[in-house]
Structure 1
Amino acid sequence: MPVAAIGFIVQNLKQLIEYNADLIFGVKDQVASLYDDLKLLNASLKDFTNKPSNYEIVREWRTTEVVQVGEFSTSSSPVEVVGFDMEVKMLVDRLTGASNELEVISVVGMGGTGKTTLATKVLNDPSISLVFNPCALIKVSQIYDRKKLFLHILSLVTRLTREMDRMSEDMLAKDLQRRLRDRRYLIVLDDVWSKNAWDELIIAFPRNKKRSRIMLTSRITNVAIYANGDSPPHHLRFLNDDECWELLRRKVFGIASCPSEEMENLGKEIAEKCHGLPLAVQVISESLSNNKNPGWWKTVAANVSGYVAKQPERCMNILALSYNTLTPHLKLCFIYFAVFPPDSIIPTWKLLRLWAAEGFIQELEQECLVDKANEYLDDLVNKNLIIVAKRKSINGGIKTCRIHNILRDLCLREAADEMFFRELRQNEQIPQPNYHRRLSMCSNAFNFISSQLSVTNVGSFFCFGIEQWVLPQENTSFIFKPFKFAMKKLHALQERESPLEQTSHFFEAFQLLKVLDMSISLTCFPSDMINLVHLRYIALFGNISVVPASISKLRNLQTLIVETTSQILDVHANTWKLTQLRHVRTSRPSHFHEPPAKAPKKKSTVTLVEENGGCSMFDNLTKLCHLETLKLLNDNFLCPSDDAILQCFPQTDKFLPNLRKLTLSNTSLDWKHMTTLGKLPNLGVLKLRDNAFVGELWKLCDAGFRLLRILQLEKTNLVRWEAFDHHFPSLQCLILKQCKFLKEIPSALGDLSALRILELYHTSSSAADSARLIQRRRQQLNELKLHIYPPGL
């Protein structure tokens, strides 16, 4: 056979395997046979290739790896997709839309949610192949060969030559641009990890006004936004329980039905514990397919996460790709989510202050610690490692968040490797000696407290449970002189033994404790806590009525949280001596020490949250000259009359000059006091809820709110609101909720150049009409987003 013919055959067989791998999916035996034939062919060519040759393509075959099957795809056999029908239709409609310009459509989501599967299903839609030529899915991943990717796309539109193989990446990009200029193409760039990767690849695709499209999938939201900031990315959702079961059933039984009701119930339980993640369903279905015995399925159902973790290369390692890209401090913040029980909805304010207490936040000069922590959380959300459970209606910030249970298992794995954290499960004992720096338990706290374990290196202790710990009101030690009292508390009560006789000092065990979060019901504040001198964060719950004066000795304390069912909380501690204290949160009216004449200045944000306040809610606030965030939520109305509340409202020259955020609820103040708030020089966010101010008329006469960016009025009897644009020169967002008596929004607000968002919920129809009028006026300035609910209002 002539040498040229041999080279031609080898080249075409190589391209056949590399570029049509998806077409041979599911025909393993035939591929194996083809591989054997190729080996025979290679043997027949051995003598030839050992001789000097001018055919570089033959020489290169001796050292070049065969491309991984599935790296490129132009079409494929049917893909197993459940629950994505609406997503497929939506994406196909967007891809085949009428715009002549090149458009980028992005799909983002957590690893394992099915982004690649969805993209493949879209490519297989009949309407796609009729419209686009070429259309292909290009697997990019974290590490990619740009030249190989360009050559593959070129192979779809022309025959590759040796000259092309010698070209540089930039020359190939220009050649590809030229050849695609007159084509209507669809390229799916799958699994793009960085903005830099996008920049390196996009240069090969011309903006040819042929209705061409690029579809991008990524785990990172910011990459998708960077690729096309004009069109928000589609966030791929998790499957619901029914969809998980249907996918599991198809994977295990194919087109057949489940053989028994028992196995169907077990299958549904297993599917539910996959928590909507298709990758977990895929992994667990393989274990179930190999053994369809109900007994085995019961075993799997009892520990689904354990069986998923047993195949790390199929699931955990794939999810860990995102974790491995994190910076060291972000890895700590991510792993920390495992200290909370599964399915926890975590308040952002609590999480950020825990991070700060642990020392995870790199505080910089002139930068608020909590603001920096918010950046860290945003970064984890952007990488789709953390799920936003609820956003703030005011500014879209993260109010609560959670972690997927499979990712939580990843956190537990990484935490175990680093001795970062230990989760104590039911009846589990800590190996001794213990080297873990953090401990968390959800039950059987008494067993742990009574076990007299060595935990001298533990810096954080979390206890989540429903037990009630009945403690004597005298100066006893609670768990701070344990451990035997907890287990023998009933015995001690029966025999009239003193708890002091049953306990040893807890602080001697937890010498380095910095974080203490006891989410169990306590009857009093632990008095011996003063011996834990390293404490930075304290969160206690129960029927606690007094915070003892001894807490003033905890000079490192940053956060104090007391959620109590007591009517009033007396804070005997002199909090002004706690120079590191940033955040105090109570659930009942609280009496604090009067601030000193010159309160110490604190660089960091100070937040005081007092729910259910009464007529004392303004007591001592006038001296908090460095307070930045304040929430006063009065649910009990302990005052004899509304007049008592009005009388204690501070005068203008005494009211919190550094306040940035203020929330008032049920305070029943007169609108005349808004003059005081308007003169606060740094106030940027004002939320007035549940009749915070009462009266039919609010008339602004003075200079107004110079720096106010966000204003929310909720549930008020306000009828007339008179204001001009100079009263709110910086206002960006106005939200009205249940303002059913308000006739109209001041028309002058339509002249505010900064105003971007206007939202109305259950207001009067006349107020809604005035909002629409403002929107029409604003069309000449810039875009104003108007939302009215219900829509027909």
Structure 2
Amino acid sequence: MKLFNQVTGSDLKFSEDIDVADKLRKKLLGKRYLIVLDDVWDTTTWDDLTRPFPEGEKGIRILLTTRQQKVAFHGKCNTDPLNLRLLRPEESWELLEKRAFGEESCPDELLNVGKEIAENCKGLPLVADLIAGVIAGREKTKSVWLEIRNNLNSFILKSEVDVMKVIELSYDHLPHHLKPCLIYLASFPKDRAMDKDELKRCWHAEGLVEQTGMKSVEEVMEVYFDNLISSSLVIAFNEIGDEATCQIHDLVHDFCLLKAREEYLFGRVSSSGPYSSSHLMPRTVNIDDDKEHFDLNNFILFSSKMKRHLCSLMITGNEMEDLLSDASHLRNLRLLRVLTLLPCL
């Protein structure tokens, strides 16, 4: 009924006696039109919405946007779906500049910091648009723009359109078995491309994937990986060949960390930072090593509670593996299945 009213300019109320699809089809018969169906989530919805529109008639176009590849391919007609890429830094800057200054050019003193802000949007159009709105409504001075650059995430989260809610909508539409696989990606550091094969080995070791039906575990993991790519939450690089990698956007990474803490799936701690071993008992722990402040006697990894729960350990640091080896503490982690040592970038 809402679609009918939008197309016809009517204000009809819903009634079971009205065949809305047939009424809309008759209303549009013989006319030229463009229909935009935005953010369609499943193929059934597409089929229901497009039933009133005759196929193959000239002058008729339907534009579909979706976050699901299967919906895009289901709805395609003569051409393949267009996969929208991330914005390049210069494109993000063009958007920011237009929103902030209209037809005028950015002053020279704001140019460098403005381009740094654009770079920090990491190519996500929604983020670029939100920050452009923040910039447009504030004083155009270098001190203000530096504040925005240094506190980008806080400005995003305070915006009227909550980016996390947009991400959560995509997350909620994932099948239940894919959610922990997505969250696990946040156990890797931000801005680090993840090797596809390494990721699948971790999934398998963590027990996140099981053999189903006639498919092997390897085949199931491949399906899981493809489905996460299809959801648009995961970005794939070099999909063909031996160097296949993937990555998640910084904001998706933040979202997954929040979910991980809610579900006690994993935690991130620093060797020098504060912690509470009384409540931190996840299956997976990521450690950011700071050798200068490393204290073997009070480090969280070696608490008795951690030894009883820890299944996966990822350490980021250039020196910490030597300290662990010398201390011989890893042998006490009896449930440990995955150990990953990553050098600092």
**3-state DSSP class of the match of 2:244?**
strand
Q: Which residue, out of 109, 119, 125, partners 1:278?
A: 125
> Cα offset for 1:377?
0.9
What letter corresponds to residue 315 of structure 2 in structure 1? C
CA contact (8 A) 2:270 2:287 kept: yes
CA contact (8 A) 1:191 1:219 kept: yes
1:683 maps to which residue? none
Q: Indicate whether 1:417 and 2:265 are aligned.
A: no
Q: Which residue, out of 110, 116, 120, partners 1:269?
A: 116
CA distance in 2, matches of 1:189, 1:241: 29
Larger strand proportion of the pair: 1
1:458 maps to which residue? 310
* Deviation by residue 1:174-215 (Cα, 9 ceiling, x = unmatched): 122122221122111111111010011111111262331111
Q: Which residue, out of 235, 240, 248, partners 2:88?
A: 240
> Cα offset for 1:247?
1.4
CA distance in 2, matches of 1:459, 1:310: 36
* Deviation by residue 1:61-120 (Cα, 9 ceiling, x = unmatched): xxxxxxxxxxxxxxxxxxxxxxxxxxxxxxxxxxxxxxxxxxxxxxxxxxxxxxxxxxxx
Spell out the pairing of 1:512-661 with structure 2 (5 A cutoff).
512-520=335-343
* Deviation by residue 1:490-532 (Cα, 9 ceiling, x = unmatched): xxxxxxxxxxxxxx73444x343221111349xxxxxxxxxxx
CA distance in 1, matches of 2:315, 2:142: 36
* Deviation by residue 1:310-340 (Cα, 9 ceiling, x = unmatched): 4484211112210111122211111111111
* Deviation by residue 1:326-381 (Cα, 9 ceiling, x = unmatched): 12221111111111122222221111111111111132254211110111111111
Greater RCO, CA 8 A, separation 6+: 2
**3-state DSSP class of the match of 1:234?**
coil
> Cα offset for 1:391?
1.8
Segment drifting more, 237-246 vs 252-261: 252-261
CA distance in 1, matches of 2:220, 2:235: 19
CA distance in 2, matches of 1:386, 1:266: 29
Q: Indicate whether 1:437 and 2:283 are aligned.
A: yes
Give identity over the alignment, percent. Answer: 32
Q: Which residue, out of 383, 388, 391, partners 2:231?
A: 383
Q: Which residue, out of 116, 122, 143, partners 1:295?
A: 143
Q: Indicate whether 1:428 and 2:286 are aligned.
A: no
2:55 maps to which residue? 207
What letter corresponds to residue 151 of structure 1 in structure 2? N
* Inter-CA distance 419–260: structure 2 relative to 1 (3 Å threshold): farther
CA distance in 2, matches of 1:460, 1:310: 34
CA distance in 2, matches of 1:270, 1:425: 28
CA distance in 1, matches of 2:13, 2:85: 41
CA distance in 2, matches of 1:402, 1:166: 45
TM-score (norm 1): 0.39
* Deviation by residue 1:761-790 (Cα, 9 ceiling, x = unmatched): xxxxxxxxxxxxxxxxxxxxxxxxxxxxxx
* Deviation by residue 1:216-274 (Cα, 9 ceiling, x = unmatched): 1111111010012652101112111111112122223333433452x322221111011
What letter corresponds to residue 336 of structure 2 in structure 1? L
* Deviation by residue 1:27-85 (Cα, 9 ceiling, x = unmatched): xxxxxxxxxxxxxxxxxxxxxxxxxxxxxxxxxxxxxxxxxxxxxxxxxxxxxxxxxxx
TM-score (norm 2): 0.86
What letter corresponds to residue 340 of structure 1 in structure 2? F
* Deviation by residue 1:731-782 (Cα, 9 ceiling, x = unmatched): xxxxxxxxxxxxxxxxxxxxxxxxxxxxxxxxxxxxxxxxxxxxxxxxxxxx
Q: Indicate whether 1:361 and 2:209 are aligned.
A: yes
1:178 maps to which residue? 26
CA distance in 2, matches of 1:293, 1:169: 61
1:100 maps to which residue? none
> Cα offset for 1:165?
4.4
Structure 2: tracts of 5 or more residues without a match: none
Spell out the pairing of 1:23-422 with structure 2 (5 A cutoff).
147-155=1-9, 160=10, 165=13, 167-168=15-16, 171-207=19-55, 209-228=57-76, 230-261=78-109, 263-288=110-135, 289-311=137-159, 313-392=161-240, 399-422=244-267
CA contact (8 A) 2:271 2:293 kept: no
CA distance in 1, matches of 2:160, 2:217: 36
Larger helix proportion of the pair: 2
| Cα RMSD, aligned residues only | 2.8
CA distance in 2, matches of 1:424, 1:306: 21
CA contact (8 A) 1:305 1:409 kept: no
CA distance in 2, matches of 1:168, 1:352: 50
CA distance in 2, matches of 1:511, 1:291: 57
CA contact (8 A) 1:245 1:268 kept: yes
CA contact (8 A) 1:182 1:210 kept: no
**3-state DSSP class of the match of 2:341?**
strand
CA distance in 1, matches of 2:160, 2:223: 30
CA distance in 1, matches of 2:184, 2:63: 34
CA contact (8 A) 1:346 1:400 kept: yes
* Inter-CA distance 185–299: structure 2 relative to 1 (3 Å threshold): closer
CA contact (8 A) 1:481 1:506 kept: no
- Corresponding residue pairs, total: 336
CA distance in 1, matches of 2:14, 2:127: 43
2:329 maps to which residue? 505
**3-state DSSP class of the match of 1:349?**
helix
CA distance in 2, matches of 1:216, 1:347: 32
CA contact (8 A) 2:291 2:320 kept: no
